[in-house]
Amino acid sequence: MKRHRNGEIWNFESQTPAAGAGVILGLDGGTTSTVCVCLPVAMPPAGPLPNPLPILSRAVAGCSNHNSVGETAARETLQEVMAQALSKACSSRAAVQAVCLAVSGVNHPMDQQRLLDWLRDIFPSHVKFYVENDAVAALASGTMGKLHGCVLIAGTGTIAYGFTEDGREARAAGAGPILGDWGSGYGIAAQALTAVMRAHDGRGPQTKLTKNILDILGLSSPDELIGWTYADPSWARIAALVPVVVSSAEDGDEVANRILYDSVQELADSVIAVVRRLRLCGKDGGDTFPLVMVGGVLEANKRWDIGKEVINCISKVYPGADPIRPKRDLTAAV
Ligand SMILES: Nc1ncnc2c1ncn2[C@@H]1O[C@H](COP(=O)(O)OP(=O)(O)OP(=O)(O)O)[C@@H](O)[C@H]1O
């Protein structure tokens, strides 16, 4: 059955765009994975986004953070995932009207400009492009498109990003592990590995982290961790150890608990810094604002819920924080 909707012709039974119908590509690129969805151009012209979104197709690829894998590999991933999404939607590059790229690793106007230039090279000239840090898309996913409030991402990396109603923006953290992102998955895992080495040398207290981390990596001595880390120091590989830190803490290990509590404070401090700089809580600090919480590190576990602890910390300073945990991926249903 074909119907006219906002001037577009659609085959609603197959969800396939009719020949010549325009599409939009939306990408959410992280260090672990990159998701691309293909949407019809015929979206409501204003107001909140429809939920669920009328998605035509969804494709998943690996890391697209140029800081982790280099610019060439990151672009190959972006290109591959866009091609897959278009092919699944039975569409083509010629039908693309706009591309919204929200990727981690876009930290500077230069990063943005390089990606915009690249997109202009591979798409026709009429296509509209939006390139943002993935935090901007994460905020929008919790507020159904409205850029207002603060988002905290804690995955492999971490960043806090906020917008006021009148468009001012601020960020905190997100500078990478060497520059102090201790609340990130990488930061937590690196502290745990450090604690294991300190215990092994006699520089720090014994910890259950030693056995638990060695077991999960199939190693027999902390000395072998040296070769393991040098073999491939990629951030996501190190950060993947966070669940071991959580289970060790849940098992009563003091060292693991200390690492998690310190990380909670780090994450809360990032949000507090953004909210303070933007005065999101108004002059008297009492106004409410959306606080979108995204990322694997903020997932609830049996007894340890890093996200909940972070909210508790922030609420003590800003009781107006209104936590929103969007479904991990608004587009997962397709
Ligand atoms: N249940 C859990 N509790 C705590 N941490 C977890 C849990 N499950 C996964 N993680 C951690 O979450 C991180 C991955 O999260 P996510 O997939 O949101 O990040 P990413 O997209 O790779 O990173 P980024 O957003 O920084 O680019 C890993 O560090 C992983 O160890």
The pLDDT tens digits of the residues spanning 6-30 come to 333 333 333 444 445 799 999 999 8
pLDDT in tens, 25-39: 999 998 888 999 999
Report the range of poorest mean pLDDT among 53-57, 178-182, 258-262: 53-57
Q: Hey, is 70 helix, strand or coil? A: coil
Residue found under tokens 């890391």 = 63
CA 74 – CA 220 distance, rounded (Å): 35
The pLDDT value given to residue 198: 98
Q: Which atom of ligand 1 is nearest to the CA of 105?
A: 27
Mean pLDDT of 87-101: 94
Q: How confident is the model at residue 41 (pLDDT cuts 50, 70, 90)?
A: confident
Q: Is the per-residue pLDDT at 4 higher than 80?
A: no
The pLDDT value given to residue 51: 66
pLDDT in tens, 295-333: 999 999 999 999 999 999 999 999 999 999 987 554 554
Mean pLDDT of 117-145: 92
* 238 CA to centre of ligand 1 in angstroms: 11
What residue segments make up the domains of the chain, in order of their start? 2-143, 177-324
Mean pLDDT of 168-174: 94
The pLDDT value given to residue 201: 98
The pLDDT value given to residue 14: 38
For residue 301, count CB atoms less than 10 angstroms from its CB and return exposed for 0-12, middle for 13-18, buried for 19 or more: middle
- Pocket-forming residues, ligand 1, beta carbon under 6 Å: 30-32, 65, 104, 153, 155-157, 185, 236, 239-240, 242-243, 246, 295-297, 299, 301
The CATH fold of domain 2-143:
Nucleotidyltransferase; domain 5 (3.30.420)
The pLDDT value given to residue 3: 30
Average pLDDT, the chain: 88
CA 107 – CA 131 distance, rounded (Å): 11
- pTM value? 0.84
The pLDDT value given to residue 21: 75
Q: Is the per-residue pLDDT at 44 higher than 90?
A: no
What type of residue sits at position 92?
S
Two domains, one topology: 2-143 and 177-324: yes
CA 198 – CA 204 distance, rounded (Å): 5
Tokens encoding 294: 């995204």
**Edge-to-edge, what's the strand order for the sheet holding 169-173?**
169-173, 158-163, 149-154, 289-294, 321-324
Q: How confident is the model at residue 104 (pLDDT cuts 50, 70, 90)?
A: confident
Q: Which of 27, 28, 31, 32 to mutate to test the pocket of ligand 1 (most atoms within 8 A of CB)?
A: 32
How many CB atoms within 10 Å of residue 250?
A: 15
- Nearest CA, atom 31, ligand 1: 240
CATH number, domain 177-324: 3.30.420.40
Q: Could you give the ipTM of this predicted complex?
A: 0.97
The pLDDT value given to residue 9: 32
pLDDT in tens, 193-222: 999 999 999 999 999 999 999 999 999 999
Mean pLDDT of 166-179: 92
